[in-house]
Structure formats: C-alpha cells, structure tokens
Amino acid sequence: MGESIGTAVAVFAGTNVDDIVILTVLFLASRAGGVPRPWQIVAGQYAGIAVLVAVSAVAALGLSVVPDRWVGLLGLVPFGLGVWGLIRKGDGDGAAPVASGVVSIAGVTVANGADNISVYTPMFRTIGLASSLVTVAVFAVLVAVWCAAASWLGSHKKIITLVERSGRWLVPVVFMVIGAVIVAESAFR
C-alpha cells in the first residue's frame, strides 16, 4: 500500500504541476477582485480532477482486452507530450484562462489536464482495483493540498513568477519521466 501511495503522489504531482500556476492565478484574481470565490476554485478543481479520473478509469476498462506488455506502450504518449513541451517551451502560450465559477474552473481543469488522461489511463489499467482506489483517495487529498498551496502562493507575486518560469521546463520533464516509468514497468511484467 505504501508503494501505491508513493506512486499516486508522484503521478499527481507530476501531472498537476501546471495546475499550481492556474490555481495560483485564480487565487490571485480572487484576492484582487473577489471573483472567483475561493470555494468555487476548490470545488471546480475537485470537479475537474474527478472528470479526468473517471474518463481515465473508463478508458482503462476498455483497455482490459489489450495485453499488459502492449498497454505499457501508452507511456510513450506522456513521454511524447513531454518532448513536445520541451520543444515548445519558448512559445509563451502558457497563459491561464480566466474562470469565474465552479463550472468554468472545472472546465479549465479538464482542458488543462486532458493530457493527464494519457498518464492515468495506463496506470489504472496496470495497477489493479485496490491500488486504483488508493490512488483516487490520494488524489482527493492532494487536490486539497494543491489548493492550499496555490492559495498560499497566490499571496506572493514573486513566487508565482518563479513557478511560471520553472513550469515551462519542469512539466515536460516530469511527463517524460512518467512516460518512461510506464514503459519500463510494463517491460518487466
């Protein structure tokens, strides 16, 4: 169970580093103008992550007819996204969209996290039901941690600048590592 928790923490952190920037911007907007309200940010983030997890779980069930050794090749998707992210890192297209309510924040989370599905799907397919349930529980706790961290970061403008700067290379590298781990783990099954 400890391994499942550790893996869940690493996967969540790796796939949601970019959410820290968006959440921080939302909390900054909330402090500056009162919109969105903090509860809307938290509820929207939970709703968005829930959609991403549900879609991934359904996709993983669909993959149950595919042999394990081939499912691991899906790890090439996050790896490729990471490579693509490193290639594009200087494009300057990482601005966070404006969101003002629970539904729009959930939408931003889903749109920003659609690539999470490429990581969660093969993971849920290969780790089994018990570990998947542990993973979902860890994700639920980490959404709260992410929101608390973003709220704190949202009160420090210098910190958001630092996170925005490092996020351009950190997110792609993390995706490459996650993809490589998925491929490597499937090779040893």
Q: How many whole angstroms separate alpha carbon 142 and alpha carbon 71?
A: 26
pLDDT number for residue 94: 46
pLDDT of residue 69: 64
DSSP symbols for the chain: -HHHHHHHHHHHHHHHHHHHHHHHHHHHHHHHHS-S-HHHHHHHHHHHHHHHHHHHHHHHHHGGGS-HHHHGGGGHHHHHHHHHHHHHTTS---PPPP--SHHHHHHHHHHHHTTHHHHHHHHHHHHHHHHHHHHHHHHHHHHHHHHHHHHHHTT-HHHHHHHHHHHHHHHHHHHHHHHHHHHHHHHT-
In this prediction, residue 162 has a pLDDT band, given cuts at 50, 70 and 90, of: low
Q: Where residue 184 falls among pLDDT bands split at 50, 70, 90?
A: confident
Domain tally for the chain? Answer: 1
Average pLDDT over residues 105-132: 85
For residue 150, what pLDDT is reported? 92
**62-94 confidence digits (pLDDT tens):** 876 666 666 667 667 767 777 887 887 655 544
Please give the residue range of the domain that contains residue 81: 2-187
Q: What is the pLDDT of residues 13-35, one digit of tens each?
A: 989 987 887 888 788 878 777 88
* Contact present, 42 and 109 (Cβ < 8 Å): no
User: CB neighbours (10 Å) of residue 36?
Assistant: 22
User: Of the candidates 127, 111, 4, 100, which has an alpha carbon nearest to the alpha carbon of residue 49?
Assistant: 111
